[in-house]
Copies of this chain bind each other. A is one copy, B any other.
Amino acid sequence: MPKIEFEPIGIFKSCYLDKFGTPRQAGLVKESEGLLIIHPKFQPELSLIGLEGFSHLWVLFYFHANGDHKFHAKIHPPRLEGKTMGLFSTRSPHRPNPIGLSLLKIKGISDAGIQVSGIDLIDKTPVLDIKPYLPSLEALPDAKEGWLSELNSRSLTVTWETEKPQDLQLLDLIENTIKQDPRPQIYRESRADGQAYRDSHAIRIHHFDVHFRILPNDEASIFKINSI
């Protein structure tokens, strides 16, 4: 089949600087924020008119941080603890066409761009398209969500070994991001000697490295915050 070429319409500035720690879906961490900047050639001063009346928008983007991956028809979704699933019944970024689809909340629109929250995009993500969300057609609360409905909604309990940030929004952002358990499956497993595969982890949020370790009973303990 013939290839189709697209050019990004803009770029995403995210509070998440790395893949590790970025939420796996939009809407999971309400405090997360980003700025969507439309390229001047697409005349945002005109092309965004009317968007301010919508509360949410779809962002279609390119999974630019995927690395080099071959096509796998079946994959191991992080929440399935080792079981496999057909790729197209998941939202995995490793798809034949690595296009992401995220429903984000619109916080404000200005000359700088579209301020959004509840994000799952990494900093510098190329944006392919944005579309208004249409609740009258796209809000189907009774839709069936297959294998996802059988999962336990397990989340980590976050505790602090170091001083908490004074900024309460930053505090919530850090805690709610770590609560999602950012570890890939491999880091959730134990080595042959029963020790954790890796003792500690760090995620980059805004200009901080946040270091934490996983303790028994699904506890995540934050022990250090550095400015980058």
The answer to whether A129 and B50 have CB atoms under 8 Å apart is: no
Within 8 A of B (CB), among A64-89: 71, 73-74, 85-89
The answer to whether B140 and A96 have CB atoms under 8 Å apart is: no
Q: Considering the complex, give the chain B residue whose CB is closest to the CB of A26.
A: B137
- Asked if A196 is at the interface of the complex by the 8 Å CB criterion, the answer is no
- Asked if A43 is at the interface of the complex by the 8 Å CB criterion, the answer is yes
Q: How far is the CB of A7 from chain B (nearest CB, A)?
A: 5
Q: Considering the complex, give the chain B residue whose CB is closest to the CB of A130.
A: B88
Q: Considering the complex, give the chain B residue whose CB is closest to the CB of A7.
A: B3
Residues of B within 8 A of A74 (CB): 46-47, 49
Q: Considering the complex, give the chain B residue whose CB is closest to the CB of A103.
A: B138
The answer to whether A103 and B55 have CB atoms under 8 Å apart is: no
- Asked if A192 is at the interface of the complex by the 8 Å CB criterion, the answer is no
How many copies the complex holds: the figure is 2
Residues of B within 8 A of A132 (CB): 88-91, 145-146, 148
The answer to whether B140 and A88 have CB atoms under 8 Å apart is: no
If over half of A's interface residues share one DSSP class (helix, strand or loop), that class is named, otherwise mixed; here it is mixed
The answer to whether B89 and A49 have CB atoms under 8 Å apart is: yes
A97 to B8, CA, bound (A): 8
The answer to whether B4 and A137 have CB atoms under 8 Å apart is: no
Residues of B within 8 A of A134 (CB): 25, 91, 145, 148
A89 to B109, CA, bound (A): 12
Among B6, B26, B88, B140, point to the contact of A51 (Cβ < 8 A).
B88
Within 8 A of B (CB), among A5-55: 5-9, 11, 25-28, 38-39, 42-43, 46-55
Known: A49-B74, A60-B101. 6 other contacts (CB 8 A): A52-B146, A55-B144, A91-B132, A97-B129, A101-B131, A133-B145
